[in-house]
Each structure stands twice: as structure tokens, then as C-alpha cells.
């Protein structure tokens, strides 16, 4: 692990008497939140900053969903629920996830929790033993909580490097080389944070073929961005023959319905549902009762709001990719989904005299007032792949145009010097 995705928090440090556990010292973080605090401090000081840091829609939750939550409060749906969630929510999740993937899902196999995020930890906890050398394969770059949860729960993180030449997917041969009898879990994320990449049916078939030789390996399919695919259909590994039983489908309401603060996600797997339910009982008790009823409306109610947001993201994707490719020294592939772009800034770094992508990001923030994240916030840099930064295009067209134009001017000005 390098300096990046885990802001180490003082492993084993103490105040003279009282110790903090080594385990807590291993806990990583999401640096999006750290950079956001830096950005907010600059804004509070009156500095003009355009932020493209955070992975959440900039829209309001659609009205019909907000009304459903208000109704839930009025109807007194305010107490604890069963840990796995209310029956109606589990039914609509099973129906929707099953329909999209062409598989039959029993509502009893659905477990709800306070976001999709907690299930990353529950999966690692349920499928690996602390310090036993159990390995977990995960995408790098990737959502930083994967590596954090693998590490803090005493498993061994094994990164699968995503390659620009493969549109930011991993080479199945890399998986073949790294998977072994020690592997317990393979984490997949499509569409992908931070690159926006998509696992195609060909990729998924190649992965499933390799997994056939390793029946002990579970798959964690993080499909939180599954409804934000812009070119063609979404494909899940759970749809392939023999894969549903060994796959945990993880999804939630945060991204599609602009509900990041409502906190509801769910995981689906027949064998693991009782175990995940017990983890929920031990940690959160249940997801917010009110949010669960809002979730029923989000998933099964009118979809006009969700469709309008998706259309806006798709249009912004075109805009930001076009503008980034006009910035000197920057090249940006068109991502297939989510709301992130992952431009290559290797040449731009050289032009402005930045040491690396993190130096570039910091200077872009302090000298040009443009906030984004660097590749090292999502794992260790992939050897030979150069320097990348991440923009979230959950921002208005106007902000995107102003921000990327300002970035181009900054690169030009610094290069002239």
C-alpha cells in the first residue's frame, strides 16, 4: 500500500496510557471526503473553487420519492424493521434486479442495509478469516473501501490492474496469474468507479471461465451504477450459467435516484443472506424504516426523475470528454457508465512541471480553483500506465464548461513559463 488510499490513522499510537488498536491503524478511508474538506475550507475562505470531486448526483431526489418518505412518517413507519428489511422492499428489489439480469431472485435472498457500502465489509468478514492468508482480488484503481475493508479484516489484498489499452478493465490473464487456492473472493465493479469502465459480455465470460477452475471463490458484484450505462445494456456476471449461486449482487438507491444521504443498499445471495442479516443485526439493526418505504417508491414507482438524470449525465459525459481532450497534454477516453471520467494527464504533468498526478491535482486546486481527485486516491498507480485524475461530472454543464476551460488556460499558462 502506498501513501494514497489509506490515510493511516496512527496505528498503535497512544497518549501515554490508552492504546488505539493496530486494526484501527489499518483502516483506510475515502480520500474524496478528505479532499472535499480541503475544498470546503477554501470555499469558506471565499476562494472561488469549482468542485468535481464527489461521487454523488447534483440533483434533488425526485418528488414522488420524497412524498413516499413523508407518507411513511405520517403513517407511523418509524420503528425498527426486520434486520433484512421490510417484505415489500425485498420483493421490489428481487423483482427489479432479477428482471434486469434475466435471473429469478427470491425476495428472501435480499438483505437491506444502510447503503451498499456496509456490504463490502460484511462480505469480507463473512468469507475470510483474520490473518489466515485468505486473498481477495479487487480492481485497481478502485473504490478505496475495497482495499480498506480487506486489510482491516485481516485478509490479503491482491489488486487486478486496470489498463487504459483495455478501456480500464483488467486482462483476464492477470486474473489467471493471481487467482489461487488462497483466493476467497473476487470483487468486480461495473460500471466502475473511478474510471467509468464497463465489463463487456466478453470480459464477463472470460472471468467466469477462469472461476470455473476455482469453485471456492465467491464474487462480489458491485453494481451500484448498473442503471447508468450509456451505450447498450448493462451486463452482470450473475446472469451467466452457474454464477448466480456464487455471486453477491450489491446495489442500492444512492446513485440512480440521487439518494446518497438517505442510506439504503442491498445485497443478494441465497447462501449468504442469513449471514449478512446477522451482520446487520450486529451493526445497524436495520436500514432506516422511512428510507425503506422511499426505496420501494424509488424502485417501483414513476421513473421520470431517474430517466431525466441519466439523460443529463449522458449529455455531460459528451461535453466533459470533448473539453478534456481539448486541454493540452490531456487525453480522455469516453467512459461507458457511472458519472466519472479518468483522463490521462501524464503529458500535462510534464508540461506544467508537476511531479505526478497528485502534485498536478493539488496545483490545479490551489492555482486554478479546480477540484478533482488523483489516481492515488483510488489505489497504487498501475506501473507503466502513467498519471490519471478523476473528475465526477455530477456537475452542471456550465460548471463543466467553466472548469475545464479554466484548466486548459492554466495548463497553457504554466507551460509557457
Ligand X SMILES: Cc1ncc(COP(=O)(O)O)c(C=O)c1O
> What is the contact surface with ligand X in residues (CB under 6 A)?
55, 115-117, 143, 189, 193, 222, 224, 252, 254, 260, 265
Q: Residue 139 CB, nearest distance to ligand X (Å)?
A: 9
Distance of CA 295 to the CA centre of its chain: 20
Determine contact, residues 286/263, Cβ cutoff 8 Å. Answer: no
Distance of CA 170 to the CA centre of its chain: 17
Q: Residue 296 CB, nearest distance to ligand X (Å)?
A: 16
Q: Residue 400 CB, nearest distance to ligand X (Å)?
A: 20
Q: Residue 140 CB, nearest distance to ligand X (Å)?
A: 13
Q: Residue 19 CB, nearest distance to ligand X (Å)?
A: 30
SS3 363: helix
Which lies closer to ligand X via its Cβ, residue 381 or residue 390? 390
Rounded to whole angstroms, the Cα distance separating 25 from 12 reads 7
- In this structure, the number of other CB atoms found within 10 A of the CB of residue 74 comes to 9
Rounded to whole angstroms, the Cα distance separating 336 from 197 reads 6
Q: Is the peptide bond before 141 cis (omega within 30 degrees of 0)?
A: yes
Nearest to 147 by CA among 115, 124, 119: 124
Rounded to whole angstroms, the Cα distance separating 345 from 332 reads 9
Which lies closer to ligand X via its Cβ, residue 107 or residue 196? 196
Q: Residue 118 CB, nearest distance to ligand X (Å)?
A: 7
> Residue number with the shortest CB distance to ligand X?
115
Which lies closer to ligand X via its Cβ, residue 257 or residue 293? 257
Which lies closer to ligand X via its Cβ, residue 265 or residue 295? 265
Q: Residue 121 CB, nearest distance to ligand X (Å)?
A: 11
Strand (E) positions, 229-351? Answer: 247-252, 265-268, 340-341
Helical residues (DSSP H) of 257-303, grouped into ranges: 273-283, 289-300
Which lies closer to ligand X via its Cβ, residue 32 or residue 411? 32
Which lies closer to ligand X via its Cβ, residue 239 or residue 260? 260
Which lies closer to ligand X via its Cβ, residue 267 or residue 382? 267
Rounded to whole angstroms, the Cα distance separating 198 from 226 reads 10
Q: Residue 323 CB, nearest distance to ligand X (Å)?
A: 23
Q: Residue 409 CB, nearest distance to ligand X (Å)?
A: 30
How buried is 303 (Cβ within 10 angstroms: 0-12 exposed, 13-18 middle, 19+ buried)? middle
Which lies closer to ligand X via its Cβ, residue 169 or residue 346? 169
* Angle subtended at Cα 195 by Cα 173 and Cα 291, rounded to the nearest 5 degrees: 115
Which lies closer to ligand X via its Cβ, residue 97 or residue 351? 97
Question: For the chain, percent helix, then strand, then coil, each to nearest 5?
Answer: 45, 15, 40
Q: Residue 316 CB, nearest distance to ligand X (Å)?
A: 17
- In this structure, the number of other CB atoms found within 10 A of the CB of residue 372 comes to 25
Paired with 147 in beta bridges are none
Which lies closer to ligand X via its Cβ, residue 254 or residue 291? 254
Nearest to 362 by CA among 374, 345, 351: 374
Q: Residue 45 CB, nearest distance to ligand X (Å)?
A: 27
Which lies closer to ligand X via its Cβ, residue 147 or residue 222? 222
User: In Å, how far are 138, 253, 271, 281 from 267, measured between CA atoms?
Assistant: 18, 12, 12, 15
Rounded to whole angstroms, the Cα distance separating 90 from 105 reads 10
Determine contact, residues 228/255, Cβ cutoff 8 Å. Answer: yes
Kindly state the greatest CA–CA separation across the chain: 65
Amino acid at each position: 500500500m502506498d501513501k494514497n488510499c489509506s490515510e493511516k490513522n496512527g496505528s498503535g499510537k497512544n497518549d501515554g496510557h490508552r492504546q488505539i488498536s493496530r486494526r484501527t491503524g489499518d483502516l483506510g478511508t475515502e480520500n474524496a471526503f478528505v479532499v472535499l474538506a480541503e475544498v470546503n475550507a477554501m470555499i469558506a475562505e471565499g476562494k472561488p473553487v469549482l468542485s468535481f470531486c464527489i461521487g454523488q448526483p447534483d440533483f434533488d431526489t425526485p418528488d414522488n420519492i420524497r412524498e413516499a418518505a413523508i407518507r411513511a412518517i405520517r403513517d407511523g413507519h418509524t420503528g425498527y424493521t426486520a434486520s433484512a428489511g421490510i417484505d415489500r422492499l425485498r420483493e421490489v428489489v428481487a423483482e427489479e434486479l432479477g428482471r434486469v439480469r434475466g435471473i429469478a431472485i427470491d425476495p428472501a435472498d435480499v438483505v437491506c442495509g444502510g447503503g451498499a457500502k456496509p456490504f463490502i465489509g460484511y462480505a469480507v468478514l463473512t468469507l475470510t478469516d483474520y490473518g489466515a492468508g485468505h486473498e481477495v482480488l479487487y480492481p485497481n484503481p478502485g473504490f478505496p473501501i475495497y482495499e480498506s475493508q480487506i486489510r482491516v479484516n485481516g485478509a490479503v489484498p491482491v489488486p487486478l490492474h486496470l489498463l487504459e489499452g483495455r478501456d480500464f478493465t483488467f486482462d483476464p490473464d492477470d486474473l489467471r496469474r493471481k487467482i489461487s487456492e488462497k483466493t476467497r473472493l473476487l470483487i468486480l465493479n461495473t460500471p466502475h468507479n473511478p474510471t467509468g469502465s464497463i465489463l463487456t459480455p466478453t470480459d464477463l465470460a472470460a472471468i467466469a471461465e477462469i472461476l470455473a477452475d476455482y469453485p471456492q471463490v465467491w464474487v462480489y458484484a458491485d453494481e451500484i451504477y448498473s442503471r447508468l450505462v450509456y451505450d447498450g445494456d448493462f451486463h452482470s456476471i450473475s446472469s451467466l450459467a452457474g454464477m448466480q449461486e456464487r455471486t453477491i449482487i450489491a446495489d442500492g438507491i444512492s446513485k440512480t435516484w440521487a439518494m446518497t444521504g438517505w442510506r439504503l443498499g442491498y445485497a443478494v445471495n441465497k447462501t449468504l443472506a442469513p449471514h449478512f442479516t446477522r451482520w446487520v443485526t450486529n451493526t445497524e439493526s436495520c436500514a432506516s424504516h422511512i428510507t425503506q418505504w422511499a426505496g420501494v417508491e424509488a424502485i417501483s414507482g414513476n421513473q421520470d426523475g431517474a430517466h431525466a438524470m441519466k439523460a443529463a449525465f449522458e449529455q455531460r459525459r459528451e461535453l466533459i470528454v470533448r473539453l478534456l481532450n481539448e486541454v493540452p497534454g490531456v487525453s480522455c477516453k469516453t467512459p461507458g457508465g457511472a458519472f466519472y471520467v479518468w483522463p490521462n494527464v501524464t503529458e500535462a504533468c510534464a508540461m506544467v512541471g508537476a511531479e505526478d498526478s497528485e502534485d498536478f491535482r493539488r496545483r490545479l486546486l490551489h492555482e486554478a480553483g479546480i477540484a478533482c481527485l488523483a489516481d492515488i486516491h483510488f489505489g497504487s498507480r498501475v506501473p507503466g500506465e502513467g498519471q490519471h485524475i478523476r473528475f465526477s461530472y455530477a456537475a452542471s454543464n456550465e460548471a463543466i464548461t467553466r472548469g475545464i476551460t479554466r484548466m486548459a488556460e492554466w495548463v497553457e499558462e504554466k507551460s509557457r513559463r
